[in-house]
Amino acid sequence: MAFTWSKTIYMGLDPIFLTELSISIIIFSTIASSKKSRVSKIKTADNEIFEVEEAVATMSNTIKIMAGDCSGGVIPLNNVHSTIFARVIEWCKKHVDDGEDLEYYKGALKNCDATFFEVDQAVLYHLLTTANSLDIKPLLHQGCQRFVDMINGKTVEEIRQLLHIKNDFTNEEEDETRKKLWSSVVGMNSFILL
Protein backbone atom coordinates (compact mmCIF):
# COMPACT_ATOMS: atom_id res chain seq x y z
CA MET A 1 0.00 0.00 0.00
CA ALA A 2 1.62 3.17 -1.05
CA PHE A 3 0.35 6.62 -0.28
CA THR A 4 1.64 9.40 -2.45
CA TRP A 5 2.23 12.70 -0.84
CA SER A 6 -0.23 14.39 -3.15
CA LYS A 7 -3.03 12.10 -2.09
CA THR A 8 -2.38 12.61 1.60
CA ILE A 9 -2.30 16.39 1.30
CA TYR A 10 -5.44 16.16 -0.76
CA MET A 11 -7.09 14.02 1.85
CA GLY A 12 -6.03 16.51 4.47
CA LEU A 13 -4.26 14.01 6.66
CA ASP A 14 -0.98 14.67 8.42
CA PRO A 15 1.72 13.20 6.09
CA ILE A 16 4.00 12.22 8.96
CA PHE A 17 1.25 10.25 10.61
CA LEU A 18 0.52 8.56 7.32
CA THR A 19 4.20 7.71 6.84
CA GLU A 20 4.31 6.08 10.22
CA LEU A 21 1.10 4.25 9.42
CA SER A 22 2.38 2.99 6.09
CA ILE A 23 5.65 1.94 7.62
CA SER A 24 3.88 0.05 10.37
CA ILE A 25 1.55 -1.56 7.79
CA ILE A 26 4.55 -2.64 5.77
CA ILE A 27 6.22 -3.98 8.90
CA PHE A 28 3.04 -5.70 10.00
CA SER A 29 2.53 -7.41 6.67
CA THR A 30 6.15 -8.54 6.70
CA ILE A 31 5.64 -10.06 10.14
CA ALA A 32 2.44 -11.64 8.98
CA SER A 33 4.06 -13.21 5.94
CA SER A 34 7.05 -14.46 7.94
CA LYS A 35 4.70 -16.00 10.46
CA LYS A 36 3.08 -17.78 7.56
CA SER A 37 6.45 -19.04 6.21
CA ARG A 38 7.28 -20.58 9.58
CA VAL A 39 5.23 -23.51 8.42
CA SER A 40 6.52 -25.37 5.41
CA LYS A 41 4.15 -27.13 3.09
CA ILE A 42 5.54 -30.30 1.64
CA LYS A 43 3.88 -32.58 -0.88
CA THR A 44 5.02 -36.20 -1.03
CA ALA A 45 5.05 -38.44 -4.08
CA ASP A 46 1.57 -39.79 -3.30
CA ASN A 47 0.15 -36.24 -3.27
CA GLU A 48 -0.23 -35.90 0.46
CA ILE A 49 0.48 -32.47 1.89
CA PHE A 50 2.37 -32.13 5.14
CA GLU A 51 2.41 -28.89 7.09
CA VAL A 52 5.59 -28.87 9.08
CA GLU A 53 7.26 -26.21 11.18
CA GLU A 54 10.04 -24.64 9.15
CA ALA A 55 12.66 -25.31 11.78
CA VAL A 56 11.78 -29.01 11.72
CA ALA A 57 11.53 -29.27 7.94
CA THR A 58 14.81 -27.49 7.32
CA MET A 59 16.71 -30.13 9.26
CA SER A 60 16.71 -31.52 5.74
CA ASN A 61 19.24 -29.52 3.74
CA THR A 62 17.40 -30.49 0.57
CA ILE A 63 14.12 -29.03 1.82
CA LYS A 64 15.99 -25.95 3.02
CA ILE A 65 17.33 -25.29 -0.47
CA MET A 66 14.03 -26.08 -2.15
CA ALA A 67 12.16 -23.76 0.24
CA GLY A 68 14.38 -20.95 -0.95
CA ASP A 69 13.36 -21.66 -4.53
CA CYS A 70 9.65 -22.14 -3.82
CA SER A 71 9.35 -18.99 -1.66
CA GLY A 72 6.35 -19.93 0.42
CA GLY A 73 4.71 -22.37 -1.98
CA VAL A 74 4.38 -26.12 -1.68
CA ILE A 75 7.65 -28.06 -1.80
CA PRO A 76 7.30 -31.17 -3.96
CA LEU A 77 9.16 -34.34 -2.95
CA ASN A 78 8.75 -36.61 -5.92
CA ASN A 79 10.48 -39.67 -4.60
CA VAL A 80 9.37 -39.82 -0.96
CA HIS A 81 6.23 -41.65 0.11
CA SER A 82 4.02 -40.21 2.82
CA THR A 83 4.43 -43.14 5.26
CA ILE A 84 8.19 -42.81 5.26
CA PHE A 85 8.05 -39.02 5.30
CA ALA A 86 5.77 -39.13 8.34
CA ARG A 87 8.38 -41.17 10.21
CA VAL A 88 11.17 -38.86 9.12
CA ILE A 89 9.25 -35.83 10.34
CA GLU A 90 8.53 -37.58 13.62
CA TRP A 91 12.27 -38.07 14.06
CA CYS A 92 13.04 -34.49 13.07
CA LYS A 93 10.52 -33.11 15.56
CA LYS A 94 12.31 -35.00 18.32
CA HIS A 95 15.73 -33.73 17.34
CA VAL A 96 15.05 -30.19 16.08
CA ASP A 97 17.12 -28.67 18.90
CA ASP A 98 19.88 -31.26 19.04
CA GLY A 99 22.40 -29.78 16.66
CA GLU A 100 24.79 -31.56 14.33
CA ASP A 101 27.16 -33.50 16.59
CA LEU A 102 27.16 -37.01 15.14
CA GLU A 103 28.68 -38.49 18.30
CA TYR A 104 25.60 -37.36 20.23
CA TYR A 105 23.36 -39.12 17.73
CA LYS A 106 25.35 -42.32 18.06
CA GLY A 107 24.61 -42.27 21.78
CA ALA A 108 20.98 -41.32 21.18
CA LEU A 109 20.61 -44.44 19.04
CA LYS A 110 20.98 -46.50 22.20
CA ASN A 111 18.61 -44.35 24.23
CA CYS A 112 15.71 -42.28 22.94
CA ASP A 113 15.96 -43.56 19.37
CA ALA A 114 16.40 -47.23 20.21
CA THR A 115 12.94 -48.31 19.02
CA PHE A 116 12.77 -45.96 16.06
CA PHE A 117 14.93 -48.27 13.98
CA GLU A 118 13.43 -51.55 15.09
CA VAL A 119 11.54 -51.84 11.85
CA ASP A 120 11.70 -54.35 9.07
CA GLN A 121 14.40 -54.13 6.45
CA ALA A 122 12.23 -52.51 3.79
CA VAL A 123 11.29 -49.61 6.06
CA LEU A 124 14.87 -49.28 7.27
CA TYR A 125 16.10 -49.16 3.69
CA HIS A 126 13.56 -46.48 2.74
CA LEU A 127 14.40 -44.45 5.85
CA LEU A 128 18.06 -44.49 4.88
CA THR A 129 17.56 -43.58 1.24
CA THR A 130 15.13 -40.83 2.22
CA ALA A 131 17.59 -39.49 4.79
CA ASN A 132 20.21 -39.54 2.07
CA SER A 133 18.13 -37.80 -0.58
CA LEU A 134 16.75 -35.27 1.89
CA ASP A 135 20.30 -34.79 3.23
CA ILE A 136 19.52 -35.23 6.92
CA LYS A 137 22.98 -36.25 8.07
CA PRO A 138 22.25 -37.29 11.68
CA LEU A 139 19.36 -39.51 10.61
CA LEU A 140 21.48 -41.17 7.94
CA HIS A 141 24.28 -41.61 10.47
CA GLN A 142 21.95 -43.33 12.94
CA GLY A 143 20.36 -45.56 10.34
CA CYS A 144 23.74 -46.74 9.08
CA GLN A 145 24.91 -47.28 12.65
CA ARG A 146 21.93 -49.58 13.08
CA PHE A 147 23.28 -51.78 10.30
CA VAL A 148 26.75 -51.63 11.85
CA ASP A 149 25.31 -52.78 15.18
CA MET A 150 23.42 -55.61 13.49
CA ILE A 151 26.59 -56.91 11.84
CA ASN A 152 28.90 -56.40 14.84
CA GLY A 153 30.33 -59.69 16.10
CA LYS A 154 28.16 -61.96 13.94
CA THR A 155 29.31 -64.95 11.94
CA VAL A 156 28.96 -65.04 8.16
CA GLU A 157 25.82 -67.17 8.31
CA GLU A 158 24.22 -65.02 10.97
CA ILE A 159 24.84 -61.91 8.87
CA ARG A 160 23.16 -63.58 5.90
CA GLN A 161 20.10 -64.50 7.91
CA LEU A 162 19.75 -61.21 9.71
CA LEU A 163 20.09 -59.10 6.59
CA HIS A 164 18.32 -61.54 4.24
CA ILE A 165 21.33 -61.84 1.97
CA LYS A 166 21.54 -64.77 -0.40
CA ASN A 167 24.75 -66.72 -0.60
CA ASP A 168 25.64 -66.40 -4.27
CA PHE A 169 29.10 -67.90 -4.23
CA THR A 170 29.87 -71.03 -6.20
CA ASN A 171 31.24 -73.98 -4.23
CA GLU A 172 34.79 -73.24 -5.31
CA GLU A 173 34.48 -69.60 -4.39
CA GLU A 174 33.08 -70.53 -1.01
CA ASP A 175 35.99 -72.88 -0.36
CA GLU A 176 38.35 -70.05 -1.21
CA THR A 177 36.69 -67.62 1.18
CA ARG A 178 36.60 -70.25 3.89
CA LYS A 179 40.35 -70.74 3.55
CA LYS A 180 40.80 -67.04 4.10
CA LEU A 181 38.82 -67.17 7.32
CA TRP A 182 40.67 -65.33 10.01
CA SER A 183 41.75 -67.79 12.64
CA SER A 184 39.63 -67.21 15.68
CA VAL A 185 42.47 -67.93 18.03
CA VAL A 186 45.41 -65.60 18.09
CA GLY A 187 48.71 -66.76 16.61
CA MET A 188 47.63 -70.31 16.06
CA ASN A 189 48.41 -72.73 13.28
CA SER A 190 47.70 -75.90 15.16
CA PHE A 191 46.72 -76.89 18.64
CA ILE A 192 49.13 -79.12 20.51
CA LEU A 193 48.24 -80.90 23.71
CA LEU A 194 50.69 -82.31 26.18
Partner 1 sequence: MEWDSNSDLSGDEDEGFLLDDGGPLPFPVPNLLQTAPCGFVVTDALEPDHPIIYVNTVFEMVTGYRAEEVLGRNCRFLQCRGLFAKRRHPLVDSTVVSEIRRCLEEGIEFQGELLNFRKDGSPLMNRLRLTPIYGDDETITHVIGIQFFTEANIDLGPVLGSSVKESMKSSDRFRSGFSAFQPIIVEDRNVCRGFCGILQLSDEVLSLKILSRLTPRDIASVGSVCRRLYELTKNEDLWRMVCQNAWGCETTRVLETVPGAKRLGWGRLARELTTLEAAAWRKLTVGGAVEPSRCNFSACAVGNRVVLFGGEGVNMQPMNDTFVLDLNSSNPEWQHVQVSSPPPGRWGHTLSCVNGSHLVVFGGCGRQGLLNDVFVLDLDAKPPTWREISGLAPPLPRSWHSSCTLDGTKLIVSGGCADSGVLLSDTFLLDLSMEKPVWREIPVAWTPPSRLGHTLSVYGGRKILMFGGLAKSGPLRFRSSDVFTMDLSEEEPCWRCVTGSGMPGAGNPGGIAPPPRLDHVAVSLPGGRILIFGGSVAGLHSASQLYLLDPTDEKPNWRILNVPGRPPRFAWGHSTCVVGGTRAIVLGGQTGEEWMLTELHELSLASQLSDFSHG
Q: Give residues in contact with partner 1 (CB under 8 A).
A: 120-122, 124-125, 128-129, 132, 140-141, 144-145, 147-148, 151-157, 159-161, 163-169, 171, 173, 177-194
Query: What one-letter code names the amino acid at 70?
Result: C
| C-beta of 56 vs 128, nearer to partner 1 | 128
* Cβ 112 to partner 1 shortest distance, Å: 21
Per-residue DSSP letter, 71:
T
Cα separation values, 51 from 24, 48, 66, 78, Å = 29, 10, 15, 16
| C-beta of 16 vs 194, nearer to partner 1 | 194
Q: What sign does the CA torsion over 56, 61, 66, 71 have?
A: positive
| C-beta of 68 vs 187, nearer to partner 1 | 187
* Cβ 116 to partner 1 shortest distance, Å: 15
Could you give the CA distance from residue 45 to residue 64 in angstroms, rounded to a whole number?
A: 18
* Cβ 2 to partner 1 shortest distance, Å: 53
| C-beta of 98 vs 176, nearer to partner 1 | 176
Query: What one-letter code names the amino acid at 103?
Result: E
DSSP per residue, 144-168: HHHHHHHHTT--HHHHHHHHT----
Per-residue DSSP letter, 14:
-
CB 130 within 8 A of CB 122: no
Q: What sign does the CA torsion over 51, 54, 58, 59 have?
A: negative
| C-beta of 4 vs 170, nearer to partner 1 | 170
* Cβ 142 to partner 1 shortest distance, Å: 11
| C-beta of 50 vs 91, nearer to partner 1 | 91
* Cβ 123 to partner 1 shortest distance, Å: 8
* Cβ 181 to partner 1 shortest distance, Å: 5
Secondary structure (3-state) at 53? strand
